[in-house]
Amino acid sequence: MTTKGSSRKQVIIPINNNIAKEFIKDSSLHIVNINQALKAIKSSTIANFIQVEDKGIVITTNNVSSDSDLQKIKKYVSSLSSNADKVSLA
């Protein structure tokens, strides 16, 4: 998992393209679940939407994600896919 750009508002999760396409089918459910997980750790970060790109899925957030936010998002996505690549924070 890494962040992109100077705003760091995009969380990029490297994932197999076929898995990413399956993941995106229930994107609204995943957004709700990610936001509940972030709320549980009292984060002010909110996931806005998910999209598929060449390298995996991109989760756009309302503000810069902290390390704990990134770890929570990683844990959620990893629980759905055992094929998620190892996380590297930029």
- Taking the C-alpha atoms of residue 77 and residue 52, their distance in angstroms, rounded to an integer, is 14
Q: How many structural domains is the chain composed of?
A: 1
Tens of pLDDT, residues 37-77: 999 999 999 999 999 888 788 999 999 888 899 999 988 88
Q: What is the pTM of this model?
A: 0.79
- Matching residue, tokens 């503000």: 63
- Does some domain include residue 90? no
- Does some domain include residue 85? no
Q: What is the CA radius of gyration of the chain?
A: 12
Q: Which of 53, 59, 63, 55 is nearest to 77 (CA)?
A: 59
Q: Does position 85 have pLDDT exceeding 60, yes or no?
A: no
Structural tokens at position 84: 């998620």
pLDDT-based confidence at residue 17 (cuts at 50, 70, 90):
confident
Buried b (16+ CB within 10 A) or exposed e, 52-75: beeebbbbbbeeebeeebbebbbe
Q: Does position 86 have pLDDT exceeding 50, yes or no?
A: no
Range of the domain at 72: 2-80
- Does some domain include residue 21? yes
- Does some domain include residue 89? no
- Does some domain include residue 88? no
What are the backbone angles phi and psi of residue 45, rounded to the nearest 5°? -80, 140
